[in-house]
Structure 1
Amino acid sequence: MKRAAIILSLFAASPALADSVMPPAELAYSQLPDAKQEAQATALMKTLRCLVCQGQSIADSDAEMAGDMRALVRSRIAAGETPDQVRHWLIERYGNWVTYDPPLDRLTWPLWALPAVLIAIGAWLARGRFKKRKR
């Protein structure tokens, strides 16, 4: 019984050890002084996927990695890069998966074609169903 309690407590403590004890990056939770640059950075951050949370943008995520990515976006925009340049750099570094709007290429074409295929299948099934009702 004691052994099971120890193992259970180790599993319960593991999420608490997931983040490091390092302080957050300088620009992770603070805004840029230039309002125009901050607006560009915020708009870009809303279109980038958190690599840890996977379902949230880096603007919405509290993960440490998302904070680092927010700081990176803000620092690169403050250095004079455009949002498109920053996005391109992040895609080169992390792959197309980092953006919510992947470009159309040989690897992502199924993502773009699948909705049209599913709509066509649904229309074909509905047409067959309606034909049976008319008879």
Structure 2
Amino acid sequence: MPMLQVPCRPRRRRLPVLRAAVLAAALLAPALAPAQAVSDPTPLHYRDAAQEARFHALAAELRCVQCQNQSLADSNAQIAHDLRREVLLLMQQGHDDAQIKQFLVDRYGPFVLYRPPMDARNSVLWFGPAVLLLAGAGVLVWVVRRRSRQVQPIDTTGDGW
């Protein structure tokens, strides 16, 4: 008796569907990422235009401690929002700009200032490039003078052959 063969369904190719799903996920992933700019939940309230101008000038001189390459005024990081509120609160309490800067330096270090004062700790950063440039020029002059002394005169009599 012959064996009964049941026709089997052809296998569907799932690879194109899988590729399309991976491509769609890759294209949509940046839109779903939570790394969007944080908006300031509580807007700042100034007493007058002079205080607002002073605040913006001071915030431009301070560095965001998270972003590290943006001023406190330009950064959208959450800590920048908090520090802006803190700076405004200190201003409203009657502190001057130097006291506010010192408060932030005490808390976060001199890195928070865009123009840190020159002291012994950062003098290498101020004078190091000039010292290296002068040392390189000195070495170059020394090498050129040493080689010029070692040059042998050329025999022009023609007896050397």
Which protein is bigger by CA-based radius of gyration? Answer: 2
Q: Choose between structure 1 and 2: higher helix proportion.
A: 1
Structure 1 unpaired stretches of 5+: none
CA, structure 1 residues 12+119, in 2 after alignment: closer, same or farther (shift >3 Å)? same
Q: Which residues of 2 match residues 1-135 of structure 1 at below 5 A?
A: 16-17=33-34, 24-27=41-44, 32-120=46-134
In the alignment, the residues of structure 1 paired with residue 111 and residue 63 of structure 2 have an alpha-carbon distance, to the nearest angstrom, of 8
Structure 1 counterpart of 2:158: none
In the alignment, the residues of structure 1 paired with residue 78 and residue 125 of structure 2 have an alpha-carbon distance, to the nearest angstrom, of 29
CA, structure 1 residues 22+44, in 2 after alignment: closer, same or farther (shift >3 Å)? closer
* CA offsets 1:36-75 (integer angstroms, 9 cap, x no match): 2222211111111111111110111111111111111112
**Identity of aligned pairs, percent?**
40
In the alignment, the residues of structure 2 paired with residue 123 and residue 59 of structure 1 have an alpha-carbon distance, to the nearest angstrom, of 42
Matched positions, count: 126
In the alignment, the residues of structure 1 paired with residue 41 and residue 129 of structure 2 have an alpha-carbon distance, to the nearest angstrom, of 40
Secondary structure, aligned partner of 2:61: coil
* CA offsets 1:77-125 (integer angstroms, 9 cap, x no match): 1221101110010000000111111222232221221243355357658
C-alpha root-mean-square deviation of aligned residues, in Å? 3.3
Structure 2 unpaired stretches of 5+: 1-17, 149-161
The normalised TM-score by structure 2 is: 0.58
Choose between structure 1 and 2 for higher RCO, CA contacts under 8 A separated by at least 6 residues: 1
Letter in 2 for 1:51: V
The normalised TM-score by structure 1 is: 0.67
